[in-house]
Chains A and B, each alone.
Chain A
């Protein structure tokens, strides 16, 4: 760490956290900590309402089976059971199926058949948590087995069982085909290229597994028809609108409250059947109903991530100029297409797979298929499939480096988009906002001592030891997004912010986004502080309550800083402008004669005469004669429709040692240099990176949701879905550069998902590098000891 500390950051933006700024950007401690360290957070399961009942879900033990009958008689006879709800009951309410974020439908409770193990079949409402679970055992369900479709590669074979026979006219398991780039131009470049490499690269199914599972407390009040719905949601406003559309409750009668959330990681974006069932349970019983899933339910039935089978190809010249990248992807979406992404992007932003390189052509084709697995796909800090895109290109560049016998760092440096090319239009339709890749790469290599590491590796190889060095250089795509192109089920991806300065100069900022630990209550106060000069401790940040915050799309895709951060800065600037007019009235001068220093308007040429923002606030709420066109108070509201996404980037280097006898991979070092433009709070950024790197190591080495041939989920608890403990991850070595986003109001880019996106290829590239003496050129995640052992013997079994 010390090595990093001594290294001056390249500060391209003078606004970025300079030490002489006591207010605003910089390393300040978190405002949310005092309650969390005392056990005084308010999470979903902490909520208790008068008369509250408890719900529990009966789930399918089978992956694909016709539902013959459900007998609830015994469960209903349980003395503490108040209701048992089945798919038939929901059919009567037209709620047995609910629309997904991908214009498909998902069964809330199965009516015709079950389509994945763990699917919701019945809902019990009882007086306490234990009785609700007891009653599940008393429900008798008769199933008739159907053939199971697990391997996405067989899903489209003729004669394969049709999973979605609920959809009129459907005769196969095909969901969509989608493509980007220019196929003909790409084929032409490949046909003429000196060198072509190809590899099947699988990004296996994993799960975000937030420490807190999903849950809801629904409180329907029949007298005024108002529904209050407490939910573990990353997007409370979108949920409110969707509930209005689905359940037919008028939107002004729905209040969605997202309390403190124990981690989201994309798991808590969509609407799960349990949320709808809690609402139905409350309507049916006339009591508030709490539903909280357990860990196994979370892993088996809520949004998985990844599951992309990618055939990657790279065309290059003999001396290492990368010309084109081409890929054909098979996407396993499970039984219902509930993937969360902007409407026009069925494969998310996968087309950013051209990476950080200046290509002549690129093309991708993605085919989505149904299988007998839980729905999901977009989750776990993926930035809408950017994890997959970056993994593909960074793995393939290493494959090319091996083929050309070139150093992978040298190959990357040779092909980077150059700083003067920004804004850079890539070959699949993205316009990268800014970047200066080489210094970031050089800094990572310097921190890692890259040349020394390579020398050490040569010595170790001579002794028969397995040491690997893996690089990844990624470009992220975050901050969805411009309304013109991006919406979630028709809701444009803009975000609102509302700033109020109280008479005594304290302020409140209300957000449409929803923190799940990312520190919004601190960093959004810092943005306002930076703009208005009000200290962060005098600013309260309100989020998560749709009755009390402006509309917006929520927190995921690292979009909070790019979109909501922009909204807050612009709202603050409106306040500042208004404050200028009021200050002018107070000082009996003209607004154009005033100058701003942080927190104060003063008279040009006479800095001693001025009004602080606090004095102006009191004036605005007081009896000062306000100028024409200026009303009282000191408030502003902004909805920010971003002109483009932001494109943060980073250079990661991973060093692994592999035990030759056992196949166990030890991550010895990990260097991460990130560039997210202007840095609002370096401490919080580092924490985000540490967490994301841990995700990446977990995915690369341990995490996997597998299935057997019968469709049994093999990753359905923390006994077999392994996430890193403190023992599997090293001390992280971080560094940074600063290349602001030119279009963003404060030059800031998103950062939350960068490390999860960038780290898996670095780890796998390191593992493959270590295994080079065995002739290994690729191995799929997770690189568990058993699979690494298999790779040493030949080729590891594909993780399908």
Chain B
């Protein structure tokens, strides 16, 4: 057992973990942060994506001990006082989720993407979320959601009409 100290979603934790414990299991099983999920065993799917010191990482591919002294943000830490983060709001409005299983990781990856590139093109969004698999949405509404959130995060207006008004 090794003692680690981490901040997760703004709260401080000191815990004993086995060195082999994956960050995702530490978050889920020791801290009860079950919003972050596991979709594969080969680091392909990105369902476990969280922010480690502000960067998106696949938490199934990081040991909890590696997060010692770090700041971790999960899907459960991005809305404030009940107000959704623009990315969460955009996924809802653009129907960027169905079963919801990839959604936490997809949202965390997308926030990191927009932090790096505040005004991504279609292709840039697609490339930016390539590490996150989704089986339900066919990605298109996710791309729209990321663009809408990007506009809101940079204070602009959302290019929302295209996806919302496509047909009825």
User: Is the CB of A377 closer than 8 A to any CB of chain B?
Assistant: no
Q: A45 and B38: CB pair below 8 A?
A: yes
Q: In whole Å, how far is B133's beta carbon from the nearest beta carbon of chain A?
A: 6
Assess the B76–A732 pair: CB atoms within 8 A: no
Chain A residue numbers with a CB within 8 Å of B102 are 211
Q: Are B142 and A726 in contact (CB under 8 A)?
A: yes
Are B139 and A729 in contact, with the CB atoms below 8 A? Answer: yes
Additional pairs, 16, CB under 8 Å, beyond known A39-B74, A731-B122: A30-B92, A39-B33, A39-B34, A45-B38, A211-B39, A211-B102, A212-B37, A212-B39, A260-B100, A263-B101, A295-B40, A517-B99, A719-B44, A725-B131, A729-B140, A736-B167
Residue A32 at the chain B interface, CB threshold 8 Å: yes
Chain B: CB-nearest residue to A212: B101
Can you report 10 A-B residue pairs in the complex whose CB atoms are below 8 A from each other?
A17-B168, A39-B35, A40-B76, A45-B34, A209-B135, A261-B99, A686-B141, A687-B98, A718-B44, A725-B130
- B36 contacts the other chain (Cβ, under 8 Å)? yes
**Residues of chain B lying within 8 A (CB to CB) of residue A210:** 99, 101, 135
Residue pair A682, B126 in contact (C-beta under 8 Å): no
Note all chain A residues with C-beta closer than 8 A to B33. Answer: 39
**Which chain B residues numbered 13 to 35 have a C-beta less than 8 Å away from chain A?**
18, 20-21, 25, 28-29, 32-35
Task: From A9, A130, A691, A735, give the contact of B138 (CB < 8 A).
Answer: A691
Q: In the complex, which range does the number of interface residues on chain A fall in?
A: 35 or more
Chain B residues, CB < 8 A from A686: 95, 141, 166-167
Given the known interface contacts A39-B34, A262-B37, A723-B135, the answer about A4 and B76 at a Cβ–Cβ threshold of 8 Å is no
CB within 8 Å for A32 and B167 given contacts A37-B107, A39-B34: no
Count contacts between A and B, CB distance < 8 Å: 202
Q: In the bound complex, how far is the Cα of B139 from the Cα of A732, in angstroms? A: 10
A682 surroundings in chain B (CB, below 8 A)? 167-168
Per-residue CB proximity of B83-103 to A under 8 Å, as 1/0?
Answer: 010001101110101111111
A378 to B36 Cα, complex, angstroms:
31
Complex Cα–Cα for A261 and B92 (A): 18
Q: How far is the CA of A204 from the CA of B8 in the complex (A)?
A: 45
Task: Among B38, B130, B134, B167, point to the contact of A727 (Cβ < 8 A).
Answer: B130
**A308 CB–B CB distance under 8 Å:** no
* A169 CB within 8 Å of chain B: no
Partner of A1 from B21, B42, B89, B162 at Cβ < 8 Å: B162
B104 contact set on A, CB distance < 8 A: 39
Contact pick for A46, options B21, B34, B45, CB 8 Å:
B34
Q: How far is the CB of A173 from chain B (nearest CB, A)?
A: 32
Question: What's the Cα separation between A730 and B103 when bound, in Å?
Answer: 20
Complex Cα spacing A19 to B136, Å: 27
Across the interface, which residues of A come within 8 angstroms of B126, CB to CB? 726-727
Is B64 an interface position by the 8 A CB rule?
no
Given A38-B79, A212-B39, residue A5 in contact with residue B166 (CB < 8 A): yes
Which residues from chain B contact A731 at a C-beta distance below 8 Å? 122, 140, 143
- A253-285 interface code vs B (CB 8 A; 1 in, 0 out): 000000011110100000000000000000000
Residues A690 and B140 in contact, CB atoms below 8 Å apart: yes
A729 to B138, CA, bound (A): 8
Give complex CA distance A130, B21 in Å.
Answer: 8
B:22-79 near A, CB below 8 Å:
25, 28-29, 32-42, 44-45, 47, 74-76, 79
Of all chain A residues, which has the CB nearest B127?
Answer: A727
Interface residues of A in 497-517 (CB under 8 A from B): 516-517
Is B165 on the interface with A (CB-CB < 8 A)?
yes
Please provide the chain A residues from 690 to 739 with a CB less than 8 Å away from any CB of chain B in the complex: 690-695, 717-719, 723, 725-727, 729, 731-732, 734-736
A295 touches B41 (CB 8 A): yes
Among B20, B74, B139: residue with most chain A CB under 10 A: B139
B114 adjacent to chain A (CB < 8 Å): no
Chain B contacts of A687 at CB under 8 A?
95, 98, 136-138, 141
User: CB within 8 A of A34: which of B92, B99, B165, B168?
Assistant: B92
User: How distant is B165 from chain A, measured CB to nearest CB, in Å?
Assistant: 6
* Shortest distance between the CB of B132 and any CB in chain A (Å): 8
Which A25-65 residues sit within 8 Å CB-CB of chain B? Answer: 26-27, 29-30, 32-41, 43, 45-46, 48
Q: Say yes or no for B129: interface residue by CB 8 A criterion.
A: yes
The answer on a CB contact under 8 Å between B134 and A211 is yes
Contact B135 A36 (CB under 8 A): no
Contact B20 A33 (CB under 8 A): no
Q: Judge whether A518 is part of the interface by a CB distance below 8 angstroms.
A: yes
Q: Which residue of A lies closest to B36 (CB)?
A: A39
Residues from chain A with a CB closer than 8 A to the CB of B34 are 39, 43, 45-46
Q: Which residue of A lies closest to B35 (CB)?
A: A39
Q: Which chain B residues border A288 with CB–CB below 8 Å?
A: none
- A367 contacts B by Cβ under 8 Å: no
Find out whether the CB atom of A32 lies under 8 angstroms from the CB atom of B41. Answer: no
Whether A517 and B136, one on each chain, are in contact in the complex, defined by CB atoms closer than 8 angstroms, is: yes
Chain B, 131-168, CB within 8 A of any chain A CB: 131-143, 162-168
Q: How many chain B residues touch A (Cβ–Cβ < 8 Å)?
A: 66
The 6 closest A-B pairs by CB, nearest first: A39-B35, A517-B99, A262-B101, A36-B100, A690-B138, A39-B75
**A755, chain B: closest CB distance, angstroms:** 8
Q: How far is the CA of A518 from the CA of B33 in the complex (A)?
A: 25
Q: Is the CB of A295 within 8 A of B139?
A: no
Indicate whether A265 sits within 8 Å of B130 (C-beta atoms), given known contacts A39-B36, A45-B37, A296-B41: no
- Give the contacts of A185-214 with B (CB-CB under 8 A): 209-213
A residues 418-441 near B (Cβ < 8 Å) are none
Q: Within the assembled complex, what's the spacing in Å between the Cα atoms of A4 and B163?
A: 11
Of the listed residues B36, B44, B93, the one surrounded by the most CB atoms of chain A closer than 10 A to its CB is B44
Residue from B89, B98, B132 within 8 A of A519 (CB atoms): B98
Set of chain A residues within 8 Å of B139, measured between Cβ atoms: 690, 694, 725-726, 729
Q: Would B130 and A211 count as touching, CB distance under 8 A?
A: no
Q: Which residues from B are CB-within-8-Å of A623?
A: none
B143 cross-chain contacts in A, Cβ below 8 A: 726, 731
- The reply on A129 being an interface residue by CB < 8 A is yes
Q: Which residue of A lies closest to B88 (CB)?
A: A37
Task: Find the B residue at minimum CB distance from A516.
Answer: B99
Q: Are B41 and A691 in contact (CB under 8 A)?
A: no
How far, in angstroms, from A294 to B45 measured CA to CA in the complex?
A: 13
A43 with B37: in contact, given A37-B88, A211-B135, A726-B139 (CB under 8 Å)? yes
Chain B minimum-CB-distance residue to A263 = B99
Chain A contacts for B140, CB-based, 8 A = 690, 729, 731-732
A81 at the interface (CB under 8 A from B): no
A700 to chain B, nearest CB (A): 14
The CA of A46 and the CA of B29, in the complex, are separated in Å by: 9
Kindly state the separation between the CA atoms of A694 and B38 in the bound complex, as whole angstroms: 21
Task: Give, as a whole number of angstroms, the nearest-CB distance from B134 to chain A.
Answer: 7
Query: Contact check: which of A9, A683, A693, A727 meets B95 at CB < 8 Å?
Result: A683
CA distance A38 to B93 in the complex (A): 14
A682-B168, A736-B167 as given contacts; A262 in contact with B138, CB under 8 Å: no
Most central of A39, A128, A684 by chain B CB within 10 Å: A39
Chain A's nearest CB lies how many Å from the CB of B39? Answer: 4
B159: shortest Cβ distance to chain A, in Å? 12
B34 vs chain A, min Cβ distance (A): 4
Q: Are A517 and B130 neighbours in the complex by a CB distance under 8 Å?
A: no
Docked pose: A692 CA to B18 CA in angstroms: 42
Could you tell me the distance in whole angstroms from the C-beta of B23 to the nearest C-beta in chain A? 14
The answer for the CA separation of A694 and B132 in the assembled complex, in Å, is: 14
Cβ of A37 and Cβ of B97 under 8 Å apart? yes
**Which residues of chain B are near A734, meaning CB under 8 Å?**
166-167
The CA-CA distance from A433 to B114 in the complex, in Å, is: 48
Inter-chain CA distance A204–B130, complex, in Å, is: 26
Q: Please, which residues of chain B bring their CB within 8 A of the CB of A690? A: 137-141
Partner of A41, one of B45, B100, B127, B165: B100
CB distance from A33 to the nearest CB of B (A): 4
